[in-house]
């Protein structure tokens, strides 16, 4: 069935994320207006800029991140934390590596 998506993460299944330099991603699904997967950073070279094209919800799995939301709060997230970011709002991510998150854009 193409409407059911299951994934198992093999270390060789990570691909460079073209939208977020320096990161790798593992996509679970990109269908029906929902895009979901994992992103990881093994190293970072300074703060990362990101503007979600749709509402983004994240679950931090490893590492820590401080996210500055333009015109909004500054978030300090650790493993187990969930956050949801508005579409079109510029954010600046200060990542402590290694960092891994599960994300959903929709």
**pTM of this structure:** 0.88
What is the per-residue pLDDT across 33-90, written as a single tens digit (0 to 9) for each? 999 999 999 999 999 999 999 999 999 999 999 999 999 999 999 999 999 999 999 9
Q: Helix, strand, or coil here: 60? A: strand
Q: Which pLDDT does position 8 carry in this prediction? A: 74
Across 85-104, average pLDDT: 96
pLDDT of residue 19: 79
Average pLDDT over residues 98-102: 96
Report whether 24 contacts 40 (CB < 8 A). Answer: yes
pLDDT at 2: 66
∠ CA 39-44-47, nearest 5°, is 95
For the chain, list the domains and their CATH numbers. Answer: 32-105 (2.60.120.10)
Tell which residue, 19, 71, 73, has the closest CA to residue 50: 19
Residue 53 has which token pair?
A: 């094209």
């Amino acid at each position: 069935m193409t409407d059911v998506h299951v994934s198992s993460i093999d270390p060789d299944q990570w691909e460079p994320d073209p939208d977020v330099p320096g990161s790798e991603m593992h996509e679970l699904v990109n269908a029906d207006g929902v895009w979901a997967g994992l992103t990881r950073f093994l190293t970072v070279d300074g703060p990362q800029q990101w503007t979600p094209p749709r509402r983004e919800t994240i679950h931090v799995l490893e590492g820590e991140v401080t996210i500055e939301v333009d015109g909004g709060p500054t978030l300090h997230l650790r493993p187990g934390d969930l956050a949801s970011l508005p579409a079109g709002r510029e954010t600046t991510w200060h990542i402590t590596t290694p960092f891994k998150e599960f994300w959903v854009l929709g």
